[in-house]
Amino acid sequence: MEIPSHLKYSADHEWVASNDDGTVRIGITDYAQDALGDVVFVDLPDVDARFDGGAMCGEVESTKSVSEIYTPLAGVVVGVNSAVQDDPSLLNSDPYGEGWMIEIRIDDPSMIDQLLTADAYRELTGE
The total number of structural domains in the chain stands at 1
CATH number assigned to the domain comprising residue 82: 2.40.50.100
Give a yes or no: residue 115 inside a domain.
no
pLDDT tens digits for range 25-66? 999 999 999 999 999 999 999 999 999 999 999 999 999 899
Give a yes or no: residue 68 inside a domain.
yes
Structural domain including 30 reads 8-109
pLDDT at 127: 77
Give a yes or no: residue 94 inside a domain.
yes
Question: How far apart (Å, rounded) are the C-alpha atoms in residues 105 and 89?
Answer: 26
3-state secondary structure 30-74: HHHHHHHCCEEEEECCCCCCEECCCEEEEEEEECCCEEEEEECCC
pTM of the full structure = 0.93
Give a yes or no: residue 47 inside a domain.
yes
Give a yes or no: residue 3 inside a domain.
no
